[in-house]
């Protein structure tokens, strides 16, 4: 492979030892921070406060002395969200405190499992806890005006004799946890973790949110810069976007979407590759078998007043992987549906 290939190497192929078990949870991210520029694109400490306003949404992001949480720090949140959604698919009640093996996170997010990898993970958790957000974004039917961190706290439960963390405990912010409970998440490609450039990751997130399963999505360069939270000049931002589009045209490395720059219209054009689930997908959709007939009466008790067949359709379109116990997973979905919406 040539040295200038735009993707990072696959450091932990799924065929290796027990890595398949770690990858059982499909990567998922919360919609709110996919839509809005919460994370810094910088690879150096970014201590620049930012304010973002768009379509009635206001976000103020304030860094700690360690700097703003970065796009790569987001991997920690993606891992936690993925684990909780997997549990919900299996009918488990989500918990705001997530405990996991540090090495599992590093492998699942294609990071190094060296001492350097553990040091970077610790720094990421510090920035996630230190970055403060004030916003009126609604998650889970609640409008949040308070200031909060992306994670409330992080604790290393055990370390090896060499000082490397083993077990980690993270308490998610109410904002992120509300989004999980309301199923306001989207599945990401595993290749996301192989994207080298922060701007590539941010463009993929926006493409996944706005293009989704559609054939095409276009956005002006000026609005794209705003959504990315880039501090570059428009001219420099155009150069960076053009370079990514040219690399994608050469290598086809961007997951799920072709990225092209329309110089005449000064627009980014995002074209679906047909690999996201749905009508255009070339990947077989998740096959959830028919539910046991007895479960529908229990579902009506869990979501009184609702048409449980309608809820079932929503559940089937949302579920990312076939649950081990479909009936329990469906009932858990019904309970959350009613908790968030009440009677129709």
- The answer to the question of residue 273 being in a domain is no
Do residues 195 and 244 make contact, with C-beta atoms less than 8 angstroms apart? no
> Which pLDDT score, from 0 to 100, does residue 19 have?
39
CA proximity to 72, closest of 172, 193, 204, 179: 193
- The answer to the question of residue 11 being in a domain is no
- The answer to the question of residue 157 being in a domain is yes
How far CA 311 is from CA of 84, 85, 169, 172, in Å, comes to 20, 17, 33, 27
Of the candidates 187, 214, 237, which is a domain's last residue?
187
> Which pLDDT score, from 0 to 100, does residue 287 have?
65
How far CA 300 is from CA of 295, 308, 337, in Å, comes to 9, 6, 12
User: Which stretches does DSSP call E strand in 182-241?
Assistant: 185-187, 216-220
CB count within 10 Å of CB 44 equals: 8
344 residues of the chain, pLDDT tens digit each: 445 788 888 887 764 433 334 455 678 788 778 888 999 999 899 999 988 887 777 889 999 999 999 999 999 999 999 999 888 888 888 999 999 999 999 999 999 988 899 999 999 999 999 999 988 766 666 665 668 889 999 998 887 777 678 899 999 998 899 888 888 888 899 999 999 999 999 999 999 989 988 899 999 999 999 999 999 999 999 999 999 999 999 999 999 999 999 999 999 999 999 888 643 333 334 567 888 888 999 999 999 999 898 888 878 777 766 777 889 889 988 888 888 778 87
Per DSSP, 53 falls in state E
CB count within 10 Å of CB 256 equals: 21
Phi, psi of 302, deg, nearest 5: -75, -30
Q: Mark whether 59 and 182 lie in a shared domain.
A: yes
In this prediction the pTM is: 0.77
- The answer to the question of residue 284 being in a domain is no
- The answer to the question of residue 3 being in a domain is no
Of the candidates 187, 222, 254, which is a domain's last residue?
187
How far CA 170 is from CA of 10, 86, 95, 125, in Å, comes to 26, 17, 11, 9
Which residues constitute the domain of residue 68? Answer: 20-187
Of the candidates 140, 166, 187, which is a domain's last residue?
187
- The answer to the question of residue 335 being in a domain is yes
Q: Mark whether 157 and 305 lie in a shared domain.
A: no
Do residues 344 and 337 make contact, with C-beta atoms less than 8 angstroms apart? no
Phi, psi of 138, deg, nearest 5: -95, 125
C-alpha count within 13 angstroms, C-beta hemisphere, residue 126 = 11
Per DSSP, 309 falls in state H
Q: Mark whether 180 and 329 lie in a shared domain.
A: no
- The answer to the question of residue 96 being in a domain is yes
Q: Mark whether 32 and 178 lie in a shared domain.
A: yes
The three-state secondary structure class of 68 is coil
Per DSSP, 215 falls in state S
- C-alpha span between 121 and 112 (Å, rounded): 10
Counting the structural domains of the chain, the total is: 2
Q: Mark whether 159 and 303 lie in a shared domain.
A: no
Phi, psi of 291, deg, nearest 5: -80, 155
Q: Mark whether 43 and 178 lie in a shared domain.
A: yes
- C-alpha span between 267 and 251 (Å, rounded): 21
Do residues 55 and 39 make contact, with C-beta atoms less than 8 angstroms apart? no
C-alpha count within 13 angstroms, C-beta hemisphere, residue 77 = 35
CATH number (domain holding residue 162): 1.10.10.10
- The answer to the question of residue 265 being in a domain is no
Q: What is the pLDDT of residues 65-117, one digit of tens each?
A: 999 999 999 999 999 999 998 888 888 889 999 999 999 999 999 999 888 99
């Amino acid at each position: 492979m040539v040295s200038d290939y735009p993707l990072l190497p696959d450091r932990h192929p799924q065929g290796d030892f027990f890595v398949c078990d770690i990858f059982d949870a499909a990567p998922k991210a919360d919609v709110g921070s996919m839509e809005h520029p919460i994370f810094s694109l910088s690879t150096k400490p970014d201590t620049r406060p930012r304010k973002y306003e768009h379509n009635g949404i206001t976000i103020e992001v304030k860094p700690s002395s360690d700097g703003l949480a970065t796009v790569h720090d987001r991997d920690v949140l993606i891992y936690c969200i993925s684990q909780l959604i997997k549990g919900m698919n299996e009918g488990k009640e989500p918990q705001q405190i997530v405990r996991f093996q540090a090495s599992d996170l590093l492998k699942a997010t294609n990071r190094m499992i060296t001492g350097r990898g553990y040091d970077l993970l610790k720094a990421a958790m510090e920035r996630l806890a230190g970055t403060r957000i004030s916003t009126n974004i609604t998650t889970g039917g609640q409008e949040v005006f308070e200031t909060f961190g992306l994670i409330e706290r992080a604790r290393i439960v055990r370390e090896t004799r060499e000082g490397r963390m083993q077990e980690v405990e993270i308490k998610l912010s109410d904002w992120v946890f509300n989004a999980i409970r309301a199923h306001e998440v989207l599945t990401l490609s595993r290749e996301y973790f192989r994207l080298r450039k922060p701007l590539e990751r941010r463009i993929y997130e926006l493409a996944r949110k706005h293009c989704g399963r559609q054939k095409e999505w276009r956005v002006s360069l000026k609005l794209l810069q705003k959504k990315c939270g880039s501090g570059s000049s428009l001219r420099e931002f155009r150069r960076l976007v053009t370079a990514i589009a040219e690399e994608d045209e050469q290598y086809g490395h961007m997951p799920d979407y072709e990225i092209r720059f329309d110089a005449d219209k000064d627009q980014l054009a995002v074209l679906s590759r047909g690999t996201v689930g749905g009508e255009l997908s070339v990947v077989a959709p998740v096959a959830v078998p028919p539910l046991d007939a007895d479960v529908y009466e229990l579902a009506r008790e869990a979501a009184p007043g609702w048409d449980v067949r309608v809820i079932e359709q929503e559940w089937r379109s949302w579920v990312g992987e076939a649950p081990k116990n479909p009936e329990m997973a469906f009932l858990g979905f019904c309970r959350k549906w009613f908790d968030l919406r009440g009677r129709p």
